[in-house]
Amino acid sequence: MGDMDEPTPLIVPVVLSGGSGTRLWPASREHRPKQLLPLVGHQSMLHETIDRVKDLSGLDRPIVVANAEHEAVIRRTLSEEGVTDALLILEPVGRNTAPAIAAAALIEQEAGRDPLLLVLPADHVIADPAGFVDAVDACVSASSGGTLVTFGIAPTHAETGFGYIRAGQPIDGELCEILEFKEKPDAATAAGYVDSGDYSWNSGMFLVRASALIEELEEQRPAMAGAVGEAVSRSDREGRTVRLEAEAFSSCESESIDYAVMEGTSRGGVIPIDVGWSDVGSWAALWDMVAHDDAGNSVAGDVVTVDTSESLISGGSRLVAVAGLERVAVVDTADAVLVASLDSAQAVKSIVERLRADEREEIEHDGTIVDSWGTSTVRSKGPGHIVRELSIDRDATLRSPAAAATTHIQVLDGLGSLRVGDDELEAPEGSSLAIEPDRSWELANAGDRILRIVEILVDTVVNVHPDPESGTPRREP
């Protein structure tokens, strides 16, 4: 696989974190999609993706490409899990994988480097990371020479939900030329692919030299290459963050790297691997990846099962009891409960589509919002009131615009400094403060630990004394 005296090429993991994971609702939401959840291990799938290649030779700091709307939650996730060196590229809009990977390649070239880019979707699981590292190592020499390598998954069954890659003659060891890409087939066609032994599932993972990728993109999609180049050159840079310029990047055609480059290149190669791969695209796929009890159930949280088998049951903050069911997913979250057949991935997606059509906020978040200053969780919401619990990070400040409601703040833990207009006062633990309507305010964490408060917004005053006629409490303005 090459001269042993050759220097080890630099390898940069490019982790694509743009998916939404609608088939894993209600755990996965638009504001915190599945790759930011600890679905399989104790850490987020994003961190697991970065961590699984830590033993590669020549490994450099990772690049994470994500939607700008996820900046706060990604920063918090990476920080909490100890990933401090990642370069974050933020897309103003999603444009599929080709522009995302091209942006990473151009940013590396701007820095005077031409590394191998190991492109990894953030929402995949690999049960055998050591085997995957070996497969990457086996392709380093070919990729260094300009071959655009994709990792095909040795199929275990006739899956209709994946694209397929047909392999040709060997290039180097198990790495073979690519004869053709195939779209998601019907069941009979998929069975023929598997029986032939010539096809792999298309995993969406690649190992490509940055310059080789850009050369191919400039040849096959010159308009896209130019637009991404403009977005990179006019991007906003701050520390380890690159915010791509919106107008240029938005002008890109939305296209996958498979269509934009791999299907048209003469330099493509595929290596089939068998490393326990899954794209965790449904609750059934997740059930396949996790441990089961004697009844075949995967259970998390406070759960009781009776006469239930081969099911995935995820409890939240309360007891979940399931009886007399087989192959179901029961997922309890703060604001929603899903009960569905494990084989109903499309039905779960349809639920999300219906919620989106009805403009339901349950597709966006579960009541908890992550922001640059901390987190906010809705505890109660009804006519005339909202109750939120907020956590403000150390050295952070929450800035609230003027509201038509009266705002009451109860400090649960920590020390705050409240500014309303020109007035500033201390907000120690246990204190209560009231802010009149139509006043903007700021609350800074002035202590050495997280500041926790309850914020209550009310637009009426409730007098809890009986109405003289009905004897029930009455509400007065």
Percent of the chain with pLDDT over 70: 95
- Give the confidence band of 465 by pLDDT, cuts at 50, 70, 90: very low
Query: CA–CA distance from 36 to each of 61, 74, 122, 206, 235 (Å)?
Result: 19, 7, 9, 22, 25
Which residues touch 87 (CB under 8 Å, ≥6 apart)? 61, 62, 63, 64, 107, 240, 241, 242
Q: What is the pLDDT of residues 84-118, one digit of tens each?
A: 999 999 999 999 999 999 999 999 999 999 999 99
Strands 406-413 vs 432-435: parallel, antiparallel or unpaired? antiparallel
Q: Give this prediction's pTM.
A: 0.88
Phi-psi region of 335 (alpha: psi -120 to 50; beta: other; left: phi over 0): alpha
Mean local confidence (pLDDT), 140-167? 94
Report, as an integer, the average pLDDT of 333-352. Answer: 92
Mean pLDDT of 356-361: 95
Q: Is residue 207 within 8 Å of 106, Cβ to Cβ?
A: no
Q: Tell me which of 346 and 111 has the higher pLDDT.
A: 111
Q: What percent of the chain has pLDDT over 90?
A: 85
Omega prior to 26 cis, within 30 of 0: yes
pLDDT of residue 5: 53
Angle at 265 between CA 185 and CA 148, to 5 degrees: 90
Give the number of C-alpha atoms closer than 13 A to the C-alpha of residue 9, restricted to the C-beta side.
26
Domain 11-278 has CATH 3.40.50.970: no
- Give the long-range contacts of residues 341-349, CB within 8 A, separation 24 or more: 342/282, 342/283, 342/284, 342/287, 342/310, 342/311, 342/312, 343/284, 345/23, 345/281, 345/282, 345/283, 345/284, 345/285, 346/23, 348/22, 348/23, 348/24, 348/25, 348/282, 348/283, 349/22, 349/23
Taking CA 470 as the corner, what is the angle to CA 469 and CA 476, rounded to the nearest 5 degrees? 85
All CATH 3.90.550.10 domain ranges of the chain, comma separated, are 11-278
Q: Where in the chain is the domain with CATH 2.60.120.10?
A: 371-462
pLDDT tens digit sequence for 274-303: 999 999 989 999 999 999 999 999 999 999
What is d(CA 305, CA 326) in angstroms, rounded to the nearest whole number? 11
Give the pLDDT confidence score for residue 477 in this predicted structure. Answer: 36
Closest CA to 268 of 208, 224, 222: 208
| Cα–Cα distance, 442 to 117 (Å, whole number) | 43
Residue 466 pLDDT > 60: no
What pLDDT does residue 459 have?
80
pLDDT at residue 317, as a whole number: 87
pLDDT of 222 higher than 50: yes
Instruction: Give the tens place of pLDDT for each residue, 3-40.
Output: 445 678 999 999 999 877 889 999 999 999 999 999 98
Let me know: does 314 contact 324? Beta carbons within 8 Å.
no
Range with lowest mean pLDDT among 332-346, 440-454, 457-471: 457-471
- Range 397-407 average pLDDT: 91
What's residue 460's pLDDT?
53
What's the chain's average pLDDT? 92
The tens digit of pLDDT for each residue in 419-446 reads 999 999 999 999 999 999 999 999 999 9
Structure tokens at 144: 């260094």
Contact by Cβ (8 Å): 85, 60: no
The domain defined by 371-462 folds into Jelly Rolls (2.60.120)
The crossing angle, in degrees rounded to 10, of helices 210-220 and 222-233 is 130
Highest mean pLDDT among 139-153, 158-172, 391-405: 139-153
Residue 463 has pLDDT above 60, yes or no: no
With a cut of 70, say whether residue 2 has pLDDT above it.
no
